Amino acid sequence: MSHKEYPVTVVTGFLGSGKTTLLNRMLSENHGKKIAVILNEIGDVNLDSELVVQSIGEELKIMNNGCVCCTVRGDLTKICLDLIAKKIDFDHLVIETTGMADPSPVAQTFFMDENLRKHFFLDAVVTVVDAKHIDQNLSEIKETQDQIGFADVILLNKIDTIKETEIAVVEKKIKQINSIARIFKTINSNIQIPEVLGINAFDLQARAELNPDITKEYHEHNHDDAIQSIYLEETRPLDMERLNRFMQLVIAELGNQVLRYKGVLNVKDEPNRIVFQGVHTTMGSNEDRPWGASEERKTRMVFIGRHLPKEVLEEGLSLCVAKQ
């Protein structure tokens, strides 16, 4: 008997960014998905009490549109496995992280925990950003950068509170930090739910088309502690063994500074593209589709993190080139 695998979306963002609005929309709109929402912090999200039809025990509430909501006061893994054990009817799991929290431990849990991986896979990390306060937050609060650096999708929310010209500036700042996330500009988190759920953005295969132009354009020198995206490419085929050693070294040396990394690899004598991605020190890789006949075979990698030595990474990658 095969069991169902549930996609997981991690929603992050500060109080007041519009995260609560987004969650309330998920729990009330008629989008046809049965969503289970896990709130990470009691009282953080003001759920509209009219939505709640019944409560199963204190932590589980069923909504009018068939969605479920529960609050974690302890172990996230336990509550996720509880949803399965109690045979709760849902088809997508959304986890809200607290305002100041770095979402990576939550993501790593799903990337790492064998029990969870049997039932769940990471679909996307969605970060809601308040357009008006982002500048101040970026300069004052380290977590803002972490949340942006970690995202697959960014809702640049409340764009009605700033001028048109400022929107472009803010967007550019975001892309400097994270060149791989999709950015949606919203008012009242008014995004179509299918744009953020079930998009398979965390998975590499779906999004392995890294766009080099973005990173070249935004790679201006920024202040030291800032998170930034570094893009590397190599057209010559790589030696897989050397590459593995290189990545182990990167993780050992830079694991705490790197939030996320992903890439498409052109490996010698390998007809398929190899894709890899990681969160801090946790990495996974697998074979992707075959290289297309007219496609340029080249290795492309993006690293997102703090104090990343671009020259060292470039040199390391060039040492992985296979002998001809």
Q: What is the pLDDT of residue 235?
A: 92
pLDDT tens, residue by residue, 65-108: 667 777 666 677 888 888 888 888 888 888 888 666 677 778 87
Q: Which residues pair with 264 in a beta bridge?
A: 275, 300
CB 304 within 8 A of CB 148: no
For the domain spanning 205-318, the CATH number is: 3.30.1220.10
Q: What is the pLDDT of residue 205?
A: 47
Which residue matches tokens 């930034």? 228
pLDDT tens, residue by residue, 294-310: 888 999 888 988 888 88
Which of 45, 35, 90 shows the shortest CA–CA distance to 71? 45
Q: Which two tokens stand for residue 216?
A: 């070249």
Q: What is the pLDDT of residue 219?
A: 46
pLDDT tens, residue by residue, 128-173: 998 888 888 777 777 788 888 888 889 999 989 989 899 999 998 8
What is this structure's pTM?
Answer: 0.75
pLDDT tens, residue by residue, 183-209: 999 888 888 887 788 777 665 544 444
> What is the dihedral sign for C-alpha 181, 187, 193, 195?
negative
Name the DSSP class of 266. -
Distance CA 302, CA 103 (A): 19
**Domain 6-202, classified CATH 3.40.50.300, yes or no:** yes
Pick the residue with more confidence: 221 or 324? 324
- The sheet carrying 272-279 orders its strands as 227-234, 299-306, 258-265, 272-279, 282-290
Which of 301, 298, 276 shows the shortest CA–CA distance to 287? 276
What are the domain boundaries of the chain?
Answer: 6-202, 205-318
Q: Which residues pair with 155 in a beta bridge?
A: 128, 184
- Residue 217 pLDDT > 70, yes or no? no
Distance CA 167, CA 173 (A): 10
